[in-house]
Amino acid sequence: MLATLHDLLPRARKNGYAVGAFNISNLESAQAVLDAAVELRAPVILQTSQQAIAYAGLFELVALVTSLASRVRIPVVLHFDHGRDISLLRAAAKAGYTSLMFDGSRLPFRENVQKTRMLAKFAHGLGVSIEGELGVIAGQEDGIRAREHLLTDPDEAQRFAELTRVDALAISVGLAHGRQVLREHLNVARVRDIGRAVSLPLVLHGASEGVADAVLKKSIAAGIAKINIDTSLRISCNTAARRFLKKHPKSYNPRELFGACRDAMRITTGRYLRLFGSAYQA
Ligand code: 13P
C-alpha cells in the first residue's frame, strides 16, 4: 500500500532504525527493491530523480509503482528525490507521488526556506509529505556536481525545520553522492549535534560507498531515519550484466539479462534493509 514519509519516519526515528530509500528508474529496479522489502517485511521508499523521470516518464513511473504497491501489504512511499524544478515537483504530487524532496541546498538560506515552505504548504494540502535539504552534499548525482561539502549547521537546521514545516530534513555530514574514492568521512558527531537540535527525522544521502556498517549504525542511533541508496544498486546491476554477458555470450534473451540484474539489486537491497534495522518493522 502507498504511504508517506510522515507515516513512516517519525516512528523509525523514535525506534532507532532507518527506512531505506532506493533510487529506481524501471520495472526491474522497482521490482527488485519491492521484492526484497516484502521478503523482509520492511517499510520502503522507492524514489526517482529528475533524470530517472526524464528517462522513464512521470506517469509511467507513477503507474508502475502504484500498481506494484497496491498488491503488497508493506507501506511503500513513492518519493521524488532531489527535485529542483518546482513545476515538475507540483506535477508529480498531482500525478500520484506521495512524497517530494525540494533540494534548495544551493540557494541562500532565506530563499531555500521560502521555496521549501511554499512547496511544503502545497504538498501537505494534497496529503503528500516533503523533505528539505540544508547544507551541500558533495559528489556527482545525475549530472549535477558539487565539489565541496558544506556541513549542515545545527542551529540553522533547527530554524529551517521550524520555518519550513518539512517532514524530514536531509543533512550534509561529510558524505558524497556517487562512486567516490574512499575519502569521505561520515561525521557522526555532527549528526548527533543536529539530532539534538532537531526532532525531525534526518536523512542521509551518499551512503552507498565507503561507509562502514558500524558508522552507519551510529548515525541511525543519532537521528538518521531515512537513508538513500542509488550507487550500490547501479553497481550491482551493471556488475551482474557484465558477468551474465561474459558467461552467456550467445544469449539473445533480454529477460535473462535483465533478470540477472534484478536478482543482484534484490540481494543488495536486502542487505541494506537488514543493516538499517527496518527489516520486520512493517
Ligand atoms: P549514493 O550515490 O551514495 O547511492 O547516494 C544516493 C543518494 O543520496 C540519492 O539522493
Give the C-alpha separation, 104 to 120, whole Å: 13
Q: What is d(CA 99, CA 97) in angstroms, rounded to the nearest whole number? A: 6
Rounded to whole angstroms, the Cα distance separating 61 from 17 reads: 28
Q: What percent of the chain has pLDDT over 90?
A: 88
Query: Which SS3 state, helix, strand or coil, does residue 267 take?
Result: helix
- Which set of grid coordinates corresponds to residue 14? 523514535
CA of 249 to the centre of ligand 1 (A): 32
Give the model's pLDDT for residue 210.
Answer: 83
- What cell was used for 133? 535539504
Task: Quote the pLDDT of residue 176.
Answer: 79
* Beta carbons within 10 angstroms of residue 245's beta carbon: 13
211 CB within 6 A, ligand 1: no
Radius of gyration, CA atoms only, the chain: 18
- What ligand 1 atom has the least distance to the C-alpha of 178? 2
102 bridge partner residues: 83, 132
pLDDT number for residue 137: 72
* pLDDT at residue 264, rounded to an integer: 98
Q: How far is the CA of 125 from the centre of ligand 1 (A)?
A: 28
Range 2-233+270-276 has CATH code 3.20.20.70: yes
**Which ligand 1 atom is the nearest neighbour of the CA of 231?**
4
Residues in the chain: 282
> Is there an atom of ligand 1 within 6 Å of 226 CB?
no
Q: What is the pLDDT of residue 174?
A: 87
Q: What is the pTM of this model?
A: 0.95
Mean pLDDT by 10 residues, the chain (282 residues): 98 98 98 98 98 98 98 98 97 98 95 98 98 82 60 95 98 81 76 97 93 95 98 98 98 98 98 98 97
Give the integer Cα–Cα distance in Å for 51 and 25.
9
- DSSP-based three-state secondary structure for 19: strand
Active site residues: 81
Say yes or no: CB of residue 205 within 6 Å of ligand 1.
yes
Range list of β-strands (E), 120-165: 129-134, 138-141, 144-146
pLDDT of the residue at 178 = 77
How far is Cα 2 from Cα 6, in angstroms, rounded to an integer?
12
User: 208 in ligand 1 pocket by Cβ < 6 Å?
Assistant: yes
